[in-house]
Structure 1
Amino acid sequence: MNERNYLNRILDIESWEKLQNLISEATGMAIVTVDYRGVPVTHHSGCREFCKRVREDEKLGKYCQKCDALGSLEGVIAQKPFIYSCHFSIVDIAIPIIVEENYLGAVMAGQLQLQETDDKLKPEKIISIDDTQLQMTKEELREYYEQIPTYTSEQLEHTVTMLYHLCDFFAKEPLLKEKTKIPEKKYLNEKKLSMPVVSNRIIAQAIDYIYSVENQAVSLTEVARHCHVSAPYLSRLFTKEVGETYSTFVTRLKITCAKEILKDTDLSVMEISDKLGFSEPGYFIKIFKKYTKETPMSYRSHRENDKSWSWYINSTCLNKKISQLK
């Protein structure tokens, strides 16, 4: 599983956890969010005392974990919420979080019962164990078992639908593609270098940040931190959306800017190197030559000659036209 699939790398866990608590309080459901390995990435909101005690039991707790695993697996296979009942006939729901065909994790909710007279919805019982042991445990913890909330099928279906759409939005919102043309922005020496048109918010934010720190050697890790994603994830997304790697894009951008400075100012190679965030002038010259096939000073000299030659040609043509008019 690559790093992109870690749920806590693209989901704002802190904000989601606050929402999870509110949903739990409003619905009476217990809720926990887990990553693709089944490891919780949030605390357990509204966990019922009965379930807490059962999970603490060395033997019965293993069955609870097995229920969670099987329930989430069924949700992944179906790619939609899976409603099931555990070995204590308590209803649970596994809501898979799938982004761009990658299974990131699931929201595990429930710890409730359906009304006995309600036969519209019959959750699948995915684990069965010795009834005698279950009855003994229920008798010992009857006080807590009776505190488990009861839902109608309609209530359950509406709540599950709401949870599913909330999870889907919260996970996908950072990756939603909306055509965004970033406006031109003044770059060094008042030159306008157009930013590329991108179709991803995260990449738009990354490029905007790169342009804002023109005189620094900004690293991929720093930009990823600014965009609240992991460096490997940003690297892959950047290549996909822009068509070249992050390092190639940044280097090419700096060389483009260097060419503008060389044409329009008298700044030395050392000053330009420092202004664009290169570690040293020698490295700047090496990279510049790699991209342009000539040194910075040679480039400047050629541009100056081009200007002079252009002026000479224009001047000559103008003189000829003046002569013809006489």
Structure 2
Amino acid sequence: MKTSYMNLNKILDLRKWQDLQDSLSLVTKLAILTVDYKGVPITRHSQVRPFCHKMRNDSEMARFCEKCDSRGGLEAVRSDAPYIYRCHWNIIDIAIPIIIDGKYVGAIMAGEVRLPEEENQYFLEQMLSAPMKEHGQAYTKEEIQHLYDSIPTLSYSELEASAQMLYNLCHYIVEEAMNKNLILEVYEKMLPLKEEPIPSDFSEGYSLDNIQQIKRDLANTVTNAYVKTSSSERHMCKNLILQPAFDYIFHNKGEKVSQREMAEICHISTGYFSRLFVKETGMNFSTYISIQKIEWSKQLLEKTDLSIAQISDELGFNEPGYYIKTFKKYENVTPNLYRKYFQEML
């Protein structure tokens, strides 16, 4: 996938997205902002609360706002689901992750509401604790308290329903945009060296299944070329119910596979799959996948000149930093040091 496609402004028409975001804000009664993976806004703030507007216009307090946005987005990525939390002012926010080809590129941040007094909010994680500060003559503590008290309230069940709706809508829109970009990219690679215009109707006639298959094939091209799995290394299940899952995992090394998807392949429930998997391997699903991907990445480090970021992307890690952390956890060295040691031994 082209690097430019990993930028949200290359995926989304931000003008149209802004209009949609404004409408969603009115319907859900949530303030909404779209940020990149660093927590930096890429859209205008829809229905921003006066309290939050003042905080984000304060250069010192804005840093805390952006850090909360960034950390909330990362927590949402870990669960691949909307994440509801408290910001540094104990205001309730929601992070809806935007993940492209397994890589976190940004998030929709919604919320700026409070829970009703009768609902306990302290079961929600607070991202940061911001120190109180004197704001000079710009606004008094009484004015700040008044603005804080004016923040609207929504029940937790209303927040959950809105979060899931935003997640489903975002996932659909980004997926459709990526499908179109993928078709154009594949077509460009097929063109002769001389430039030729791309027909405006090129993407017509391609079904979603066709596109998804192309994406899977491209994701596995490099790993299948360099990472070899012998019959002795491939896991042969004692419980044959699980064999389709293991076959899929080893054949699609570059994909980010979930336990739910593998359970569906085996035609059993996720809970039953989890119990059988632990009995079969002696470890949970996520640990097993991490260990296998690290083993495959070692072959890429040894046999290719791919960068750490490229290897991370090829094997479906969320980001290079997470790949490096996982590699060090199991190998006690970073990928760069592993490659260096291997080359020195040749």
After superposition, the C-alpha distances for 1:16-63 in whole angstroms (9 at most, x for unaligned) are 221100011112211111222333222111111111111222322222
**SS of corresponding position for 2:59:** coil
Q: Distance in 2 between matches of 1:120 and 1:126?
A: 13
Aligned pair partner of 1:171 in 157, 169, 174: 174
Which residue of structure 2 lines up, in the alignment, with residue 155 of structure 1? 158
**SS of corresponding position for 2:114:** strand
Aligned residues of 2:37 and 2:73 also touching (Cα < 8 A) = no
Give 5+ residue unaligned stretches, structure 2.
204-213, 222-346
Which residue of structure 2 lines up, in the alignment, with residue 17 of structure 1? 18
Q: CA deviation at 1:111?
A: 0.6
RMSD: 3.8
Q: Distance in 1 between matches of 2:182 and 2:131?
A: 52
After superposition, the C-alpha distances for 1:259-289 in whole angstroms (9 at most, x for unaligned) are xxxxxxxxxxxxxxxxxxxxxxxxxxxxxxx
Q: CA deviation at 1:173?
A: 1.4
2:77 aligned partner, one-letter code = V
Larger Rg: 1
Normalising by structure 2, report the TM-score: 0.50
Bigger strand fraction: 1
Q: CA deviation at 1:150?
A: 0.3
Which residue of structure 2 lines up, in the alignment, with residue 146 of structure 1? 149
After superposition, the C-alpha distances for 1:61-89 in whole angstroms (9 at most, x for unaligned) are 22222211221121222222111111211
Q: Distance in 1 between matches of 2:61 and 2:140?
A: 10
What are the equivalent positions in structure 2 for 1:146-295 lying under 5 Å apart?
146-176=149-179, 203=183, 218-219=195-196, 223=198, 240=218
Which residue of structure 2 lines up, in the alignment, with residue 40 of structure 1? 41
Aligned residues of 1:95 and 1:107 also touching (Cα < 8 A) = yes
Q: 1:154 to 1:224 in 2, by over 3 A?
A: farther
Q: Distance in 2 between matches of 1:122 and 1:169?
A: 30
Q: 1:20 to 1:224 in 2, by over 3 A?
A: farther
Which residue of structure 2 lines up, in the alignment, with residue 311 of structure 1? none
Q: Distance in 2 between matches of 1:103 and 1:226?
A: 30
Query: Size of the alignment, in residue pairs?
Result: 205
Aligned residues of 1:206 and 1:227 also touching (Cα < 8 A) = no
Which residue of structure 1 lines up, in the alignment, with residue 92 of structure 2? 91
Q: CA deviation at 1:133?
A: 6.4
**SS of corresponding position for 1:95:** strand
Q: CA deviation at 1:9?
A: 1.0
Q: Distance in 1 between matches of 2:100 and 2:39?
A: 17
Which residue of structure 1 lines up, in the alignment, with residue 81 of structure 2? 80
Aligned residues of 2:49 and 2:151 also touching (Cα < 8 A) = yes
Q: 1:117 to 1:124 in 2, by over 3 A?
A: same
Q: Distance in 2 between matches of 1:116 and 1:77?
A: 30
Q: 1:240 to 1:146 in 2, by over 3 A?
A: same
**SS of corresponding position for 2:75:** helix
2:142 aligned partner, one-letter code = E
